[in-house]
Structure formats: C-alpha cells, structure tokens
Amino acid sequence: MPTTLMPIDPAVSPLRANRIPAISASLLPEETVAGRNARRALIWVVVMVVVVAGLCAAWFALAYRDKQAAEHELDAATVTVSDLQREQRTYSKTVQVQNEIATLDGQLKTVMANDLDWSALLDTVRSTGTPSGIRVDGVNGQLNGADGGGAAVSNPLPATNGATTIGALTVTGTGPDKQAVAAYVDALAKLTVVANPYVTNVATDEKTGVTFSLTVDITQNALCGRFTVACKPAGGK
C-alpha cells in the first residue's frame, strides 16, 4: 500500500505541533523583588541628593566670591575715604578761612544793604545841569532814618517814576536865567536815581543871572555798593 507524505499545516505553530504550552512565571520571591525596587529607588535618591548638594556648593562658591569682591571694594573705598580725610585736614585752615570770608561777606551785605555812592550821586546831580549852563554850588543830603527819624528835607509828592524814596537832597546853584533852571529841573525828573525835583527859591542876580535852590528825593535805585548791587552810571528812564 503506497504512503503519501502530506505537508504540515503552516497555520499550526511549532509549539502547538509539539504540544508545548506558552506559560511564563516569575519564580523570584516577593521579598527579592521588593528589595531590588528599594535599592533602585535608593540609588535615585542618592543621585538627586548629590546633584542638589553640587548645586548648593556651586551657589555657595559664587556667593563667597561675590562677598570677597564686595569686601575688597569696601576696603578700597575705606582707604580712599581715609586718604581724602587726611588731605582735607591738610587744607582745614584754608577751608576755615573761606568759610569766615563767606560769613563776613554775608554780614557786610546785611550791614551795607542801604549803602549809597554819594560821590556818583553828586556827580550825576552836577553833570545833569551842565547842558543848561547850571552850576551847582552846594548839595546837602540825608537818608531817611539816618538820625533815627525822617530826612531833613522831604518832598511830600509821590515819586513820579514809581521808585521808593529813601532820602532827599537840597541843591543850590546859579544859572543864566529861569528857563535854564526849568530845563535843569526837567532833566532831573528824567533820572532814575532821583525823583520829584521841586524848586523852592529863584532869585535874580545881576552878576550871575539867577540863583536857585531846589529839593529832590533820592530813590532806592541810587543804592549800590561793593557788597550789594554793583553801582552803574546814572542815566535816564
């Protein structure tokens, strides 16, 4: 009887062909597995601790370096301050003299607040009459409150230029005629250092023409001096 070889069904795996069941199982005790997991977790904890410790050490080193640099800068600044203080002591007398000068200037400005350049004022009064042929023979002046009271002679009229009056002048002189005296009065009225010129007397003189006397107020614009406002040449408004 003939025998025919039949191919093995490819759908059947070798395991099924050999009838070997696919079974897997862990035969390690639970204590061993738990120990391995614990050791693995411990290793990770140690690694994290080492990393954190390294970062802390790096931060500490950086902070220490910055602290050292700040201490060096502080030492350098302290040395600089000490040098400057030592140099300042060297010039202490000069600084003291400068402070005394500044104090003295302030006191002089206070004392000389009402300083008046009488020479410049008298020259202005005299030169103002020159174009009209007026010759000033005498000037008598006094500031308000110079003797504890008002000025010796004071014009009751308000200042025409709006300036505050601080005293008065009495001017006497001669001129060619009354028109010249009137022109002189008009010229005085245009000045800023005086105000309110007022003729008190005019008399005819056969030899000199006319003699006159007038009063004029001194304004605050005339105040000047070395320690207050610098004196300027008197002029018109």
pLDDT in tens, 86-130: 887 777 788 888 888 888 877 776 766 667 778 888 898 999 999
> 103 — phi, psi (to 5°)?
-65, -45
Instruction: Identify the CA nearest to 222 among candidates 199, 198, 195, 186.
Output: 195
The set of residues, in sequence order, having a beta carbon less than 8 Å from that of 135 and lying 6+ positions away, is 129, 173, 174, 175
- The pLDDT tens digits for 211-232 are 999 999 988 888 776 656 666 6
The one-letter amino acid at 7: P
pLDDT of residue 183: 92
Please, what sign has the CA dihedral across residues 227, 228, 230, 234? negative
Which residues are registered as beta bridge partners of 202? Answer: 212
Q: Tell me: pLDDT of 38 over 90.
A: no
DSSP-assigned beta bridge partners for residue 143 = 167
- Of the two residues 27 and 65, the one the predictor is more confident about is 65
For position 17, what pLDDT does the model report? 53
pTM score: 0.50
CB atoms inside a 10 Å sphere around CB 46 = 10
Nearest to 185 by CA among 122, 132, 143, 139: 132
CB 219 within 8 A of CB 194: yes
Q: Is the dihedral of CA 134, 140, 217, 172 positive or negative?
A: negative
Beta bridge partners of 216: 169
Give me the chain's average pLDDT, please: 79
What would the mean pLDDT of 62-87 be, rounded to a whole number?
Answer: 89
Nearest to 191 by CA among 114, 135, 125, 120: 125
Name the band, by pLDDT with cuts 50, 70 and 90, for residue 197: very high
- Residue range 41-58: mean pLDDT, rounded: 91
Please tell me the distance from the alpha carbon of residue 35 to that of residue 38, in angstroms, as a whole number.
5
Quickly count: other Cβ atoms within 10 Å of residue 38's Cβ. 10
CA dihedral for 114, 115, 117, 118, sign (positive or negative): positive
Contact 116, 156 (CB under 8 A): no
